[in-house]
Structure 1
Amino acid sequence: MDKEKEIKAYLDGELLPEVRMKYEIAEEMGLLDRVLSDGWKSLSAKETGRIGGLMTKRKKEKLKK
């Protein structure tokens, strides 16, 4: 999926739950504007790792419920 289609899918609510979670976490961290304008490559390794870590944490929490 190219960048424009992914952004449109995010805004329209048509993404897979895992991808939606990635965007939601980026938004919570205040990074969503940069991701939407410059893509995921614009994030540092630290920022990307933090998003991945939070995704893993949330997935584990869902499994416990």
Structure 2
Amino acid sequence: MKKKHKVETPQDRLKYEIARELGLMDKIKEVGWGGLTAKETGRIGGIMTVRSRKNTNKSEKDAKDKENS
């Protein structure tokens, strides 16, 4: 069966960026995302959450600043 090509989302890019920063890309290439431990997966998810919140808060602040200008 042929594998469908998945469209990369901004969250996918963030996930790969964090995995690269944590030095997990070799493991992911070898065994796939399913081969990560719960601790590794949780670490990636936690960092993604923190960065997403930070970006959301920054966007809201920028919008308020623009509104008040």
The normalised TM-score by structure 1 is 0.76
Identity %, equivalent residues: 49
1:28 aligns with 2:21: yes
User: Where does structure 1 lack aligned partners over 5 or more consecutive residues?
Assistant: 7-13
Aligned counterparts of 1:33 and 1:22: Cα–Cα separation in 2: 14
| Residue 51 of structure 2: aligned partner | 58
Equivalenced residues, count? 55
The CA deviation string for residues 4-36 of structure 1, in whole angstroms up to 9 with x for no partner, is x56xxxxxxx62110110011000000011112
The normalised TM-score by structure 2 is 0.72
| Residue 67 of structure 2: aligned partner | none
Structure with bigger gyration radius: 2
Give the superposed CA RMSD: 1.5
Which runs of at least 4 in structure 1 moved beyond 2 Å after TM superposition? none
| Residue 61 of structure 2: aligned partner | none
